[in-house]
Structure 1
Amino acid sequence: MNTFSQDSILIAEDLTEEKELRFQQFFFKALSEKSIENYQKAIENLESCNQILSNEVAVFFEFSKNYLQLNKTLLAKEYINRALVNEPKNIWMLKHLVKVNVKERDFSEAISIQKKTVAINIKEREFLLKLYLRNRDYKNAVLLMNVMEQDNALSSNFKNLKSTLEKKVNKKFVKQEKKSNSGSLIEQFKTNKSYNILKKILEVSIDNSAQLLKYSTEGIELFPAQPFVYLMNAKALNYQKSYKKALLSLQNGIDFVIDDEMEANFYTQMAISYNGLGNFKDEKKFREKSKKLKN
């Protein structure tokens, strides 16, 4: 039986003809409802499938995908784990479980699962690298970059980043943030160059373009694998009508984005930049891409 997407699972052919027909009707209706973002309706049709044929991997997989779209990550994880019991090496299901863990911001678990996808398909290494960077595990990121570079599989953006990270790792730049309850955020940042403090500074500087630009620029130098600093840098540059520089910052930072919400925010800023440059075609394109990710 065929399905709508590459990552869907085939249905077992162990039903009577009548039940199989009903199962297929409900299953394809679920896929159709999901394609138009009626996720709850899709789930209702999957429940009907489950009544006809219980413990079906394809149904569990679809349950998980729809629950994830509804931000019900616990249910999404429960159903994908049920599916993986029967097909533990199914790369599409493993990739989906990684996505669920990223949604929950459990990067350590996402890394653990992503390693399994790499064992199946070596092309999945780049996403593993992004997860290391998102988790600020620079040591393992550099080790993986070295391997990928030897295999001629490291992009130019990551080659540039590798040199910066190697210096930071060698100098033991990455340290645990020490708690401090005294002084302003900026005063704290002078003595404790932690990403968490910088992020708070950027968040409170959102209406101060000069300060936002100053600390986001410093943030790119200090934390070159954190997409948020590129996004804030571009926002400040867009405020100041430096649209070309804003686009460059966004293009440099988007390689490190792994979650939909952040990606949507990048596209929104790109749309603002293109609008400022009078490129209304690309503005529309990126606004639509942002809207699609947010829905």
Structure 2
Amino acid sequence: MRKIILYTFLFGTFVFPTASVAQQQEPEQVALDTKEFEDHLYESFKQKGIENYDKAIQELEKCQNLEPNNPLVWFELAKNYYFQKKYVDSYNYFEKVTQADPKNRWAWQGLYDICYDTKDYNKAITIVAKLIEFKEDYKEDLLSLYMTTQQYDKALTLINELNERFGVTDKHELYKAQILKDVKYQGSEKENLIAQIKKNPKEESNYIQLIYLYSQSNQEEKALEVAKQLEKEIPTSDWAQVSLFKFHINNQDGEKATKAMHIALSSTKIDSKIKHRILNEYLLFAKDKPLFEKDLDKAITYFDNDKEVKVAKEIGKFYHSKKTWDKAAKYYKMHLNTVSDDYETINLLAECYKEAQEYEALAKFSEEQSQLFPSQPDMYYYLGYAYNKLKNFKKAKESLETGLDFIVDNTKLEAAFYNQLIECYSGLGDAKKKEYYTNKQLEAQKTQKK
């Protein structure tokens, strides 16, 4: 009796002995067959438990001889074949169970497991559709299968359905971002987002996604309309300021653009790439407008912890390319306040002092840096150059001749050193040394041309 209760608990849909057998046999024979069936079945469970699947299958085959149409035997055969990775046999037996009992969820699950293990994802989709009838959670499996088989239109429809019913998840958003890289799916998503906004005008995320899609497809006017609608419905939204910033910049409205920029850059919700784009656009707008320089300086502070892009340095390079030496120097110094050993920036700042003819500043700066980077010839060059311009030819000579020893395979820099040494010895009145370095310069120039 204990065994029968156990089987009924585990497999309530399976009943044995079968009615047909009971009708054809005498009661005594039925009792004998039932006991023999139970013994073999119990032994199969025991052998399966110790992972002796061959022996378990042998016991189940004996059960099958006694009761050929018992779904419990088919189910157990399917499980044991599955554990042996004999997927064809396992699939056939699970399928027999579903045909006999279409409401047996575990048999459908078995079929799904086999399809997944054998990477037959298209067949898995049809099986998961059946499993959804038992438990709606299987829709997540269906979504993963749609993504795997690149049925993105169905995946997008299902994502929107799941988001509406159960809320947005990070996984769904990643899937959606992957799908929407393909322009052909963006149209239907725009329509979906418009419908979602109408249904729930206080849900910020729908506006953000729609603004992004319009921006990606160069529909700036529509993006702006959505941003204005977002600002109206949710006045505290930081994202509304992103598109409004662009609108104000295009209209040359510096005051409103500046306000929108500060809100966007200070927001923790907005992606850093978008923030960089905003700053670059503001830089182009403000470069010839001293009125907004303080706001540009403040904007840089929002990126102090940005490890990927050194904003002050990049702005310095921007002004450097425009030969606006004073502004380039200002932002290089701002950068060096946080990254003092960035030699590229050090070199660029020295060049700014040189081009701006700030020789006192150049001498002071390059002397400090030559002590920090004693093997870098550039700083000795700038120091010698500055002393020459300040008519301190003795110090120029010391610096230039020291730095000359550190030049390796750089004939352009070598020629520049010789040029400064010629000027230096000319100032010192040493004609012999001047001639010597003139000849060295000519040799370096010839090598450089080759």
**Alignment partners' CA distance in 2, 1:169 and 1:8:** 49
Aligned match of 1:291 = none
CA gap of 1:168–1:17, structure 2 versus 1, over 3 A, is farther
Aligned match of 1:96 = 110
**Alignment partners' CA distance in 2, 1:141 and 1:22:** 51
**Contact 1:77-1:97 within 8 A present in 2 as well:** yes
Q: 2:59 aligns with which of 45, 58, 70?
A: 45
Aligned match of 1:143 = 157
What is the one-letter code of the residue matched to 2:15? I
Aligned match of 2:15 = 11
**Contact 1:139-1:169 within 8 A present in 2 as well:** no
Aligned match of 1:159 = 172
CA gap of 1:125–1:10, structure 2 versus 1, over 3 A, is same
**Alignment partners' CA distance in 1, 2:36 and 2:110:** 27
The alpha-carbon deviation at position 54 of structure 1 amounts to 0.7
What is the one-letter code of the residue matched to 1:133? M
**Contact 2:48-2:56 within 8 A present in 1 as well:** yes
Q: What are the residue-to-residue correspondences of 1:274-285 with 2, within 5 Å?
A: none
Q: What are the residue-to-residue correspondences of 1:44-193 with 2, within 5 Å?
A: 44-152=58-166, 156-171=169-184
- Which stretch of structure 1 is more off in the superposition, 129-138 or 30-39? 129-138
Q: What are the residue-to-residue correspondences of 1:132-281 with 2, within 5 Å?
A: 132-152=146-166, 156-171=169-184
Q: How many pairs are equivalent?
A: 172
Measured against aligned partners, the alpha-carbon deviations of 1:214-253 in whole angstroms (never above 9, x if no partner) come to xxxxxxxxxxxxxxxxxxxxxxxxxxxxxxxxxxxxxxxx
**Alignment partners' CA distance in 2, 1:37 and 1:93:** 20
Q: Which has the higher contact order (CA 8 A, sep 6+)?
A: 1
Aligned match of 1:206 = none
**Alignment partners' CA distance in 2, 1:150 and 1:113:** 25
Q: 1:30 aligns with which of 30, 33, 44?
A: 44
**Alignment partners' CA distance in 1, 2:122 and 2:79:** 21
CA gap of 1:168–1:36, structure 2 versus 1, over 3 A, is farther
**Alignment partners' CA distance in 2, 1:33 and 1:17:** 24
**Contact 1:43-1:66 within 8 A present in 2 as well:** yes
**Contact 2:14-2:70 within 8 A present in 1 as well:** no
**Contact 1:8-1:58 within 8 A present in 2 as well:** no
Query: Normalised by the size of structure 2, how large is the TM-score?
Result: 0.35
Q: CA RMSD in A?
A: 2.5
**Contact 1:118-1:125 within 8 A present in 2 as well:** yes
**Structure index of larger Rg:** 2
**Alignment partners' CA distance in 1, 2:12 and 2:90:** 15
CA gap of 1:153–1:84, structure 2 versus 1, over 3 A, is farther
**Alignment partners' CA distance in 2, 1:113 and 1:119:** 10
CA gap of 1:149–1:172, structure 2 versus 1, over 3 A, is closer
CA gap of 1:41–1:169, structure 2 versus 1, over 3 A, is farther
**Alignment partners' CA distance in 1, 2:45 and 2:9:** 9
Secondary structure of the residue aligned to 1:120 is coil
Displacement over 4 Å in runs of 4+? 4-9
The alpha-carbon deviation at position 125 of structure 1 amounts to 1.3
**Contact 1:64-1:77 within 8 A present in 2 as well:** yes
Query: Normalised by the size of structure 1, how large is the TM-score?
Result: 0.53
**Alignment partners' CA distance in 2, 1:149 and 1:7:** 36
List alignment gaps of at least 5 residues for structure 2.
23-29, 187-450
The alpha-carbon deviation at position 111 of structure 1 amounts to 0.4
**Contact 2:153-2:185 within 8 A present in 1 as well:** no
**Alignment partners' CA distance in 2, 1:134 and 1:3:** 38
Measured against aligned partners, the alpha-carbon deviations of 1:126-158 in whole angstroms (never above 9, x if no partner) come to 22222222323232222211111111166x332
CA gap of 1:138–1:11, structure 2 versus 1, over 3 A, is same
CA gap of 1:4–1:153, structure 2 versus 1, over 3 A, is farther
**Alignment partners' CA distance in 2, 1:151 and 1:133:** 20
**Contact 2:97-2:104 within 8 A present in 1 as well:** no
What is the one-letter code of the residue matched to 1:3? Y
**Contact 1:102-1:110 within 8 A present in 2 as well:** yes
CA gap of 1:136–1:38, structure 2 versus 1, over 3 A, is farther
**Alignment partners' CA distance in 2, 1:76 and 1:172:** 39
Identity %: 25
List alignment gaps of at least 5 residues for structure 1.
174-295
